[in-house]
Amino acid sequence: MKKRFATIIVVISFFRVSAEEGMLIPSLIMAFENDMKAMGMRLSADDIYSVNQSSLKDAILHFGGGCTAELVSSQGLLLTNHHCGYSQVQSHSSLENDYIKNGFWARSMSEELTNPGLTASRIVRIQDVTATMFQGTEGLSGEEYSAKVQANMETLIADARAGNHYEAEIKAFNYGNDYYMIVKETFKDVRLVGAPPSSIGKFGGDTDNWVWPRHTGDFSMFRIYVGADNKPADYNPDNKPYEPLRFFEISTKDRIPGEFTMVYGFPGTTEQHVSSDHLEYIMNTERPARIAMRDKSLAVIGTSMNSSDLLRIQYASKQARIANAWKKWIGQIGGLQSVKAIETKRSREKAYNDMAATRPEWKSKYGGVVKDLNNLVTEFKDKDFAYAMYIEYLYVGPEMYKRARELQEFLTGYESMDEATRADELEKLRKGGEGFFKDFDRETDRKIFVVLSEEYMKQQPNSRLDQFLGDRSLEEVSQEIYSTSIMGNKENFDAFLNHINDSIVQYILDNDEGYVLWKALNDDFFTNVIPEVRIFEQAKNELLSIYVEGKMEMFPDDKHWPDANSTMRITYGKLEGSAPHDGMKYTEHTTLDGILAKNNTGNPDFEITGRLRKLAEAREYGEYDQNGELWVCFTGSNHTTGGNSGSPVIDADGLLMGVNFDRSWESTMSDFMFDASRCRNITVDIRYVLWVIDKYAGAGHLVEEMTLVDESQKAYKKRKKRFAKLNTCDGDCCK
């Protein structure tokens, strides 16, 4: 942990009305209030984030640790993405009740389904604790210094938790230039209320994933239940719906291209400060190799999935997981190449060094950091590459390796356990094995093993794998492993479990080709690769800490924002399309008619139900239409990333316009470099969500529970004029 006191001076131009990058800390949003107002927002900073009164932040929850969700009624009704609630929907599904395929709607609260382990957290407050963390450390060093910082942290956390049911954690921002304490309230009884069929919630499948134009109804609904005191409680049938401090009112108003939009949620990771050499390594070496590995496994999985329904079901979610990042990476490289990101990085680094040279104190502090960062990458890139390849090969690769890892974890400590614990652990392993082999096809995994081993050996010549193979061919070894090993074969695994308490266990493992191979690779990974990568990460973070401090100090007029770290952030922009390719322009919205058009192409990813077709052909949009169209999705220039799934997309008055769920392919580069002219987030329009709930699913009682806000023609015209003016002027008239 590093001690640094950088004064964050946020001076931003108030004359800008174009979208800007940045994922801002809600408790500091007042610094951006004027800029947001210049873009048309009519809320105050206090409406967005406040600790003294309820504010929008209280209606936004961290859902299941990886997504965002928002409250939309006074009775704890939560809205998030279909892909965020997917595993819950799946776990309640069976052949008789196939909710994945047909959707699910609780007709009353008593039909809502419990989800053990699922949580939703509300942020109580976000507090800058940088100064307090380092209080009393002056003059200390080494262990004394660390102990004092640790003690300060513990006191801060204990104070935050005293006399309440909150949790608190302290997180580093800006690579340790700042520390914030996040105090949160975690709800533990979160029940499934409804989800559309996959043909709506996952419409477009992998074909459309990361792609605009998009027509996915990517939403699902949950409800938070609490104890009689309205506080979090474990699941109990007597729990009551949560009465939130704040919930979103919903905009059914006509949308206006160019109007203000804001996304408020929990973005996971961005890397805006990577150095030029690092970016070059990522774009030209690391990502292409990872993509090549996944090309290979996806081809095998695709062939298998097309060959039978059973295989299609067994590999559906694995395929989706592997393909999601694979497709994003391809988009990222393309985007970064077309904006010449490496050149841009180099020229920014030059500007940084030039500025550092203007003052002796800057020169000594910041003058060498860019060079050090780039040198560090040169020094460690082989190790980092080995790490990436091991992740792809051992963790994303043949599932036989996953079995081996779980077996090793199980055996560690097994000897020293008492009888009862042993029996428990053994039962867990048996259950785990059942779940694993249920979705495992031996021949598919064997083929994945062959193609990935080939690619791995190409990327990492002379590895432990080559040593293991010796003169034998991959084909030969794979046949051997998948017929004799415990790891790649259910019968062998079950037989092994029956002998788990016998003394021959170790002998069996030592002679199991699959296990021996996995162990050789895994040992190399943990002894020779991981420790080096840790050193790299730590050294990189220390340099980035200096680099970022220099940016803030030497370029105080730039907009500075800390990289995403799964904490609550705000980003704002406009409802707008883009033109990322020569000769091509994306409009900002899609409609229900577009679903029919895609369906007509015959691609199975665009299958729809007869009911949707009938309703769409009848064009009965009720009060949800706009000029005779039903908007399905729209894009905006808001800077989002993974974790922002399910985030509310909010209009100038704080009303809910839709639910964020993706980015366009051309804009996935924004994890490294945001480009306002091409980076677009994708939102499912709340009016389509309401239409599906109301007209498609017949669950109008849920719409009744929400508060819908429309406007008169006169008010619409006035609003339209206002945004038109804001978007054409570039001076004081914007305020």
Binding site for ligand GLU (CB under 6 A): 640-645, 661-663
- Strand residues in 375-487 grouped as ranges (E): none
Closest CA to 74 of 51, 58, 63: 58
> Residue 583 class from Cβ within 10 Å (0-12 exposed, 13-18 middle, 19+ buried)?
exposed
In the complex, least distance from residue 297 CB atom to ligand GLU, rounded to whole angstroms:
21
Whether omega for the bond prior to residue 241 falls within 30 degrees of 0, making it cis, is no
255 binds, among ligand GLU, ligand ARG, none (CB under 5 to 8 A by kind): none
In the complex, least distance from residue 305 CB atom to ligand ARG, rounded to whole angstroms:
14
205 binds, among ligand GLU, ligand ARG, none (CB under 5 to 8 A by kind): ligand ARG
User: Rule CB under 6 A: which residues touch ligand ARG?
Assistant: 83, 202, 205-206, 209-210, 320, 324, 642, 645, 662
In the complex, least distance from residue 12 CB atom to ligand ARG, rounded to whole angstroms:
30
Nearer to ligand ARG, 67 or 552 (CB): 67
- Strand residues in 133-257 grouped as ranges (E): 167-173, 178-187, 189-195, 220-226, 240-241, 250-251
Q: How far apart are CA 33 and CA 409, in angstroms?
A: 51
In the complex, least distance from residue 216 CB atom to ligand ARG, rounded to whole angstroms:
8
CA angle 182, 185, 188 (to 5 degrees): 135
In the complex, least distance from residue 727 CB atom to ligand ARG, rounded to whole angstroms:
29
User: How many Cβ atoms from other residues are within 10 Å of residue 303's Cβ?
Assistant: 12
Nearer to ligand GLU, 73 or 88 (CB): 88
User: How many Cβ atoms from other residues are within 10 Å of residue 460's Cβ?
Assistant: 18
In the complex, least distance from residue 78 CB atom to ligand GLU, rounded to whole angstroms:
16
**Residues paired with residue 578 on neighbouring β-strands, in sequence order:** 586
Q: How far apart are CA 356 and CA 546, in angstroms?
A: 12
Tell me what percent of the chain is helix, strand and coil, each rounded to the nearest 5.
50, 15, 35
Question: Taking CB positions, which residue lies at the least distance from ligand GLU?
Answer: 645
In the complex, least distance from residue 651 CB atom to ligand GLU, rounded to whole angstroms:
20
In the complex, least distance from residue 605 CB atom to ligand ARG, rounded to whole angstroms:
9
Would you say 254 and 235 are in contact if contact means Cβ atoms under 8 Å apart? no
253 binds, among ligand GLU, ligand ARG, none (CB under 5 to 8 A by kind): none
Nearer to ligand ARG, 625 or 662 (CB): 662
Helix axes 287-307, 369-390, angle to 10 degrees: 30
- Strand residues in 196-326 grouped as ranges (E): 220-226, 240-241, 250-251, 260-265
Nearer to ligand ARG, 213 or 642 (CB): 642
643 binds, among ligand ARG, ligand GLU, none (CB under 5 to 8 A by kind): ligand GLU
644 binds, among ligand GLU, ligand ARG, none (CB under 5 to 8 A by kind): ligand GLU
727 binds, among ligand ARG, ligand GLU, none (CB under 5 to 8 A by kind): none
Q: How far apart are CA 652 and CA 43, in angstroms?
A: 7
Nearer to ligand GLU, 321 or 458 (CB): 321
695 binds, among ligand ARG, ligand GLU, none (CB under 5 to 8 A by kind): none
Nearer to ligand ARG, 439 or 513 (CB): 439
Q: How far apart are CA 103 and CA 105, in angstroms?
A: 7
Q: Which residues are catalytic?
A: 83, 218, 645
In the complex, least distance from residue 684 CB atom to ligand GLU, rounded to whole angstroms:
12
Buried b (16+ CB within 10 A) or exposed e, 212-233: bbbbbbbbbbbbbbbeeeeebb
In the complex, least distance from residue 646 CB atom to ligand ARG, rounded to whole angstroms:
10
The token pair that represents 712 in the structure block = 């008169």
Would you say 241 and 76 are in contact if contact means Cβ atoms under 8 Å apart? yes
320 binds, among ligand GLU, ligand ARG, none (CB under 5 to 8 A by kind): ligand ARG
**Residue 363, amino acid:** K
641 binds, among ligand ARG, ligand GLU, none (CB under 5 to 8 A by kind): ligand GLU
DSSP-based three-state secondary structure for 652: coil
Closest CA to 274 of 714, 713, 689, 673: 673
209 binds, among ligand GLU, ligand ARG, none (CB under 5 to 8 A by kind): ligand ARG
DSSP-based three-state secondary structure for 24: strand
Nearer to ligand ARG, 237 or 604 (CB): 604
- Whose structure tokens read 């239940």? 225
Nearer to ligand ARG, 27 or 198 (CB): 198
Nearer to ligand ARG, 258 or 331 (CB): 331
Q: How far apart are CA 565 and CA 98, in angstroms?
A: 36
Residues contacting residue 261 through CB under 8 Å, at least 6 positions apart: 572, 573, 574, 575, 636, 638, 649, 650, 651, 657
Helix axes 287-307, 309-338, angle to 10 degrees: 150
DSSP 178: E
Residues contacting residue 277 through CB under 8 Å, at least 6 positions apart: 373, 374, 377, 378
Q: Dihedral of the CA atoms 436, 438, 444, 445 (nearest 10)?
A: 10
CA distances from 225 to 61, 125, 362 (A): 14, 22, 55
258 binds, among ligand GLU, ligand ARG, none (CB under 5 to 8 A by kind): none
Q: How far apart are CA 315 and CA 328, in angstroms?
A: 20
In the complex, least distance from residue 85 CB atom to ligand ARG, rounded to whole angstroms:
12
Q: How far apart are CA 231 and CA 270, in angstroms?
A: 34
In the complex, least distance from residue 307 CB atom to ligand ARG, rounded to whole angstroms:
21
319 binds, among ligand GLU, ligand ARG, none (CB under 5 to 8 A by kind): none
Nearer to ligand GLU, 374 or 640 (CB): 640
Nearer to ligand ARG, 513 or 605 (CB): 605
CA distances from 13 to 183, 448, 556 (A): 32, 54, 11
Nearer to ligand GLU, 321 or 431 (CB): 321
